[in-house]
Structures are given as structure tokens and as C-alpha cells.
Structure 1
Amino acid sequence: MPAAEQALKPHRNLLRTIIHCATKEPVLTVLVVALVALQVFHPRPWESLPGLVDWQTVMTLAGLLILTKAVEYSGFLMWLAHRVVHHIRSQRALAYLLIALAAALSTLLTNDVALFVVVPLALSLNELTPLPLKRLVIFIAIAVNAGSILTPLGNPQNLFLWQTSGVSFGGFVLALAPLCLALMAMLYALATVSFKRTELDLSKDTEPHPVDRPLLGVAVVLFAAFVLLADSHRAGIGLIGVGIGFIFWRPRIVLKIDWLLLLIFVFMFIVLRSVAALPWVHNAVGELHLSTPLRAYAAGAVLSQFISNVPAAIMLAEFSKDWRALAFGVSVGGFGFAIGSLANLIAMRLSGQRGMWAQFHLFSIPFWVIGGAVGGWLLLHF
């Protein structure tokens, strides 16, 4: 091999590594590139950047990731899911059940965790009997976005708005309940006309699913305690207790949480708050007059279609303190284009099915349009 080509080999390997990382984690890559660009063209002291991060939200998210991973590793969710489906006799009934299961799990265990339970369940059932798998996964994705609206723990944007608003856990649930119920009713109506009453035979689903009862018991108790601490804005204390406890008892749980999600959240705060502080951005958003609830709501629903609902919530919170209008907006913004919610992308990735994008948007975009109108009406009248 010529000397010149030999010298270029390490650089080519480095370029391949960078390209691989960028394609594997595009969200983090975009955030890092954006931060570098901001520091080049609109620099601010590096030591000031950590001050842009809402660490209370990050600590709450970290604690919830540990606890939900513990519940997942206990095996209880998969055991429960397989036990319940034994009572199903038709495709439509199965769709109803998976929608309810996905929505219910997302209210407490976040929409991502719900997907990691319900989508694999649908895949395993498809191996037992033919199912309209693509359609089921699409409805599961919509269900976790609709169900997760109900509580502060359902998704990252709710968690952020809950922590910054100062409202109680119960107050948040009461405020978001009308939107959640309306969207779930819409989803069930859509499922009724989208799935047939074709009979199913799931009697072959006899594989055992053991449950780690000690792990489940500890996780449930700590989950309740952590929520109480987070509600009183003492998430740091809860995170220390939960983190240290599991590091010594079940270290695999702490090591296996989605650390990348935490890093992405930190970069989102830094980048989006830096962008919001740019004079031309501040002036442009200021022209939207987000002081009215309906304008803040519309901004959240539309902006989510381009940058996803979590960053939309973080950015718009710099311009509007109407947390309920923003929560309504970014919640509806999770529908429409797939990028509106990272849960949509996760669901399609877990399914492993080709041709998901076109079919997903066939359902999701009309749902966003109608849900947007319903959400705006509810915001003004409830």
C-alpha cells in the first residue's frame, strides 16, 4: 500500500466513525453541531452554559428512567400483557386492548417505556397469528402520545412544564384530563372503523414470563416516594436515594438506562435557550404575540411538526408562561408528522416493518388536524 494512502487510512476510519455516530444518533448530532455554530457566531462564556439547563427536570427524568427500567426488568409488564391478551377473540378487540394498555402504561412509565412493552408484545402475537401489524403499531404510537398527555410523568415535555410551572401533580392531571379523554375517544372511534372483527386464535401463547417480585415491590414503593419528592421539588434527594440504592443492589439497572436521552435533554436546554436569546429570534417570536392562550397553543402544535414537541416546549417556554396552553399545544403536536414526537420514530423503529412512513401519516396527519381543532376548543372552554 502506498505511503500516502496508508497515511490517509486513520482519517478515513475517523470519518466513517463520525458518519456512523451521526446517522445512529441524529438528534444529538444536530444539537452538537448547533451548539458549535452558536459558539462560533454568537459566543457566550462556556462556564455559563450549565446555567441554561433546568437541572430539576433532568434529575426528575433521571430518577424516573431508573425506576421505569426497574419495573421493566422485573418482567411484570410483559407477564401482565400476555395474560390479558388470552381473553381476546378478534382483531378489533386486540386493537382496543393494545391501545388501552399503551395509553395506561404511558401515563406512569413514560411513552417510550410503554412502546418497549406493547410493540414487542404485538410482534410476538403476530408470530402466533397473522395481524395487521403496521396498523397496530401506528395505533400504539398514537395511543402512547394521547395517553401520556394525562400526567407529568407521561412524557419529557410534560415533565419539563410540570417542573417549571410549580403546579401540583393533581393540578396538572386535572388540567390535561379533558384533552387526554377527547383524544382517546377519537382514537377509539378511529380504531372501530380501522380494524375488523376477524377472529383470532391466541391459544398458542403459552410461553412463561417470570416476574422478579422483590424488584417489582421495591420499584413500586420507590416510584411512589420519588413522585412525592418530585412534586415537592426535591427530585435531587430522590435521585440520590434511588441511584445509590440500585447501584449497590442491582447495578445493571442504572447502567442500562437511556443515558443518551439525558445528554440530549441537557443539550436541548443549552441550544434552544441560546437560540431563543438571539435578538432576531426573540423579535420574530415576539411578533407572534404568544401572550394569548390560543396563540401559544397554536405555536406549540405547529412548531412541534418541525422540531419535535420536547424542544418546542423548551423553546416556547421562554416566550410564554401559560404552561397549560403550551402543554395542550405540544401534546397535539406529537401527532401529524412523525418527527412531532420521538415516540413515533421509536415505534416505527421497533416494528422493523417497511413502508411504515406513508401509512403512519395517512392516520396521523388527519388525527393532528382534527385533534388540533378539538384541543383549541377545549383550551378555551374548560
Structure 2
Amino acid sequence: MSEFNAKGVRPDLPTRVWKAIAKEPVLAILVVAFVVVQIAHPRPVMSLPGLVDWQTVLTLAGLLILTKAIELSGFLMWAAHRLVHRIHGERGLALLLVGLAAGLSTVLTNDVALFAVVPLALSLNKLAPLPIKRLVIVIALAVNAGSILTPLGNPQNLFLWQASGVAFGAFVWALLPLCAALMALLLVLTVVLFHAAPLDLSGDAEEHRVDRVLCGVSVVAFAVFVALADAHHAGPALAALAAAFLLWRREVVFKIDWLLLLIFVLMFIVLRSAAALPSIHDAIARIGIHSPERAFAAGAVLSQGISNVPAAIVLAEFSKDWRALAFGVSVGGFGVAIGSLANLIAVRLSGEKGMWMRFHMISIPFLFAAMAIGWALV
């Protein structure tokens, strides 16, 4: 008897698909949320792709290819080897990576900074066993905290900077107190979470060779791709990049995290659909966010439900206090993982099981502390 029905489809296909989705908690939540939002406020199927920020998705795909190429070249293992033999303590290594992630995020955006630092941390873990879950979590917190400082650090800052019309320097000066306070808090947390114990270098026995051609091409391509993506040419840049690697080193393209791209596409559809719900706009209008304190609180709280970039866009319609909104959505990047897309990237890049629970055990208390600091400064 055939296992296919009259339509040529396995009878248990929906069950098989759901089981595959259920293995990925974020994907499962997004699918359920999509169904709920579509029931509450139906959208034509053909209009859904228009909700996706394809510039971001295409840029993410290019960064996944390039970081995978650098990883396969062996450069990260070589760099990790050099690093662990210069910094002998777990705490010192954690503080260095937190500082590096925060610094890079001020100029490269928080997402790009993650693609530089998290793979390095994973390579370090292969040489000297580390509490890698905690390390990835503080790196995620670091890029969110560091990116607060400049308009280039994250998308919500770029949007609010353009909307406010203030000078670049004035924006940095306004956000400096919050960035400095949260970085100080994060450094204290890092000191508490990591011991000063020496690193176990027994696993660093073999010689670490680097494919210099692959590494050199990938590093140059990384710089060119980021520049083209920043100029809003991510599509052509990705097409050229993918074609080149498919012809030259196809394993680079085949080994990237394709599921992360699907998660981002679904996230844009769900979050922007939710942000457009009349109930959300009516609730904000009823509450009123005319004072800096209310604008700050609204940004921090709303980010927990629809992420900080959509929250900034929605709230800008109700308040012109760009500083309070920037404080709120910046703090909103902590807490629930969905508060910032950088959180999701960090957790996915880690590849560790049980990361979601561990992430929230640290990020939610950090959110409450950050809200108290932001409230005092705003």
C-alpha cells in the first residue's frame, strides 16, 4: 500500500512539519504568533513579503557566508591559540571579549560585532574549556550596551538620529551617560560571573594551520561587503559573494545557518504585523507618553513584545522626545531575547543547548537593573 494519499502527500506531513518546527523554540513561537496575528488582523498573503526588511536579511546572509569562510580557513583557531597564551585567566579573557564586542558595536553595528566576536569565543572554547554559555550571553549584552553610544551602533539609533535631526556629536553626547553606566554594570557582572582561575590549555596541543588564501579573500570580501551593505547594495553584493563561493568553495555556502535566515524573515512578518495592530496604537494613545519618563518606560516595555526597532518606529509617532525614546528602546534590548535581534543571533551562533533558559536567567535581571539606571538618567 502506498504511503501517499490521492493527492500525493504524506498523510502525516503536518505532524512531521510541526515536529521539525517544535525542535526550534523560537521558530515554534513565531509560527504560533503568526497564526494568532493573522486571526486578529488578517493580511493578504501577497503583502507579507513587503513586511520583511530584505536589506537586513540579505546582509545577514552575506555575513553568515563570510564568517563561515573565515572559520573554515582556520584563522579563528589560530587567533584563539595566540590569545589564550597571552591571557591566562578566565575572567581576564571574558573582560577582553566584552570590551572588544562593545567597542566594535559602536562602529560596526551590534550584529556585525557579534559575527566577529562570538565565533572567536567558540574557537577559544575548543582550545581551553570555558563557560561558553555565560561567555556568549555577556558578549550579547556587551554589543547591546556598546551600540547605544552612536547612531551607527544599531538600527533604532540610526532611525531616531535621522528623525531627530540632531548632529552626530550631540547624539553621542546624549547617549553617553546611559552607555557608560550600562557598560560599568556589565563589567561588574562579568567579574562576578567569571572566576580568575587559570585556563586549561591541555587541549591546545596541535599546530593550527591557516588557509591564507581563503582567509585573505574572506577578510577583504568582509570589508567590501559591509561597505556595500551600508550603501544599500546588499542584494547585488550577496549574489556576487554566493556565486563566487559556490564556484570556488561551495562548502562555505552549504554550511551556514539557513534556519536563522528563516527565523529573521518570520520575525519581521510577525513583529511588524503586531506593531500595526490597532489595539497597540490605541493602548499607547490612551496611556500617553508625553513625559520623558513615560516615553522611556514605553520604549523599554514595548521592546519586550515587538523588539526594539519596531518599538522605536511605533513610539516615534507619539513622542518627539528622541532622547527618552532612545534610552527606552536601548534598555529594551535587554530582557526577553526578542527585545533585540542581536540576542537571537548570539544564541543561534553559540549552537549550545539550553541557551534560551540560561540567557533569560541573566538578561532579565539585567533588564530590571538597566531600567532603574535609565529611569534615573532620563
Normalised by the size of structure 2, how large is the TM-score? Answer: 0.74
Deviation at 1:377, TM superposition (A): 5.5
CA distance in 2, matches of 1:354, 1:228: 36
Report what 1:125 is aligned to. 128
CA distance in 2, matches of 1:48, 1:135: 40
Counterpart contact for 1:58–1:262, Cα < 8 Å: yes
Report what 1:44 is aligned to. 43
Aligned residues: percent identity? 55
What secondary structure sits across from 1:287 in the alignment? Answer: helix
The one-letter code matched in structure 1 to 2:63 is L
Over 3 Å counting, the alpha-carbon distance change for 1:191 and 1:40 in structure 2 is: closer
The one-letter code matched in structure 1 to 2:309 is A
Report what 2:250 is aligned to. 251
Could you list the per-position Cα deviations for residues 23-51 of structure 1 after superposition, in whole angstroms to 9, with x for gaps in the alignment? 12333333334444444553333322222
More divergent stretch after superposition (315-324 vs 188-197): 315-324
Report what 2:310 is aligned to. 314
Over 3 Å counting, the alpha-carbon distance change for 1:294 and 1:124 in structure 2 is: farther
Over 3 Å counting, the alpha-carbon distance change for 1:152 and 1:233 in structure 2 is: farther
Deviation at 1:110, TM superposition (A): 4.2
Deviation at 1:300, TM superposition (A): 3.3
Q: Count residues in correspondence.
A: 360
Report what 1:7 is aligned to. none
Deviation at 1:337, TM superposition (A): 4.4
Could you list the per-position Cα deviations for residues 217-261 of structure 1 after superposition, in whole angstroms to 9, with x for gaps in the alignment? 222222222333233333333333323333322233233333333
Report what 1:262 is aligned to. 261
Report what 1:236 is aligned to. 235
Over 3 Å counting, the alpha-carbon distance change for 1:111 and 1:96 in structure 2 is: same
Counterpart contact for 2:156–2:326, Cα < 8 Å: no
Over 3 Å counting, the alpha-carbon distance change for 1:329 and 1:267 in structure 2 is: same
Report what 1:275 is aligned to. 274
Q: Give the 5 Å matches for 1:282-361.
A: 282-290=281-289, 295-306=294-305, 309=307, 312-320=308-316, 328-337=327-336, 340=339, 347=347, 350=350, 357=357
What secondary structure sits across from 2:314 in the alignment? Answer: coil
Report what 1:6 is aligned to. none
CA distance in 1, matches of 2:176, 2:69: 28
CA distance in 1, matches of 2:270, 2:341: 18
The alignment's C-alpha RMSD in Å is: 4.2
Deviation at 1:86, TM superposition (A): 0.9
Deviation at 1:85, TM superposition (A): 1.1
What secondary structure sits across from 2:42 in the alignment? Answer: coil
Over 3 Å counting, the alpha-carbon distance change for 1:142 and 1:20 in structure 2 is: same
Deviation at 1:213, TM superposition (A): 1.8
Report what 2:74 is aligned to. 75
What secondary structure sits across from 1:318 in the alignment? Answer: helix
Over 3 Å counting, the alpha-carbon distance change for 1:124 and 1:24 in structure 2 is: farther
What secondary structure sits across from 1:205 in the alignment? Answer: coil
Counterpart contact for 1:114–1:144, Cα < 8 Å: no
What secondary structure sits across from 1:202 in the alignment? Answer: coil
Q: Does 1:111 align with 2:146?
A: no
CA distance in 1, matches of 2:141, 2:343: 8
Over 3 Å counting, the alpha-carbon distance change for 1:204 and 1:253 in structure 2 is: closer
Over 3 Å counting, the alpha-carbon distance change for 1:291 and 1:215 in structure 2 is: farther
Counterpart contact for 1:74–1:216, Cα < 8 Å: yes
Could you list the per-position Cα deviations for residues 113-132 of structure 1 after superposition, in whole angstroms to 9, with x for gaps in the alignment? 63343145336412xxxx66
More divergent stretch after superposition (71-80 vs 324-333): 324-333
Deviation at 1:21, TM superposition (A): 1.8
Counterpart contact for 1:313–1:327, Cα < 8 Å: no
CA distance in 1, matches of 2:60, 2:159: 11
The one-letter code matched in structure 2 to 1:93 is G
Residue segments in structure 2 that go unaligned for 5+ positions in a row: 1-9
Deviation at 1:55, TM superposition (A): 2.7
Counterpart contact for 2:81–2:204, Cα < 8 Å: yes
Report what 2:210 is aligned to. 211
CA distance in 2, matches of 1:220, 1:245: 14
The one-letter code matched in structure 2 to 1:21 is A
The one-letter code matched in structure 1 to 2:260 is L
Deviation at 1:87, TM superposition (A): 1.9
What secondary structure sits across from 2:333 in the alignment? Answer: coil
CA distance in 2, matches of 1:314, 1:355: 25
What secondary structure sits across from 2:128 in the alignment? Answer: helix
CA distance in 2, matches of 1:37, 1:348: 25
CA distance in 2, matches of 1:149, 1:259: 29
Over 3 Å counting, the alpha-carbon distance change for 1:272 and 1:343 in structure 2 is: closer
Could you list the per-position Cα deviations for residues 341-381 of structure 1 after superposition, in whole angstroms to 9, with x for gaps in the alignment? 576676499485779947x6564344222323334556x4x
Deviation at 1:80, TM superposition (A): 0.9
Deviation at 1:151, TM superposition (A): 7.2
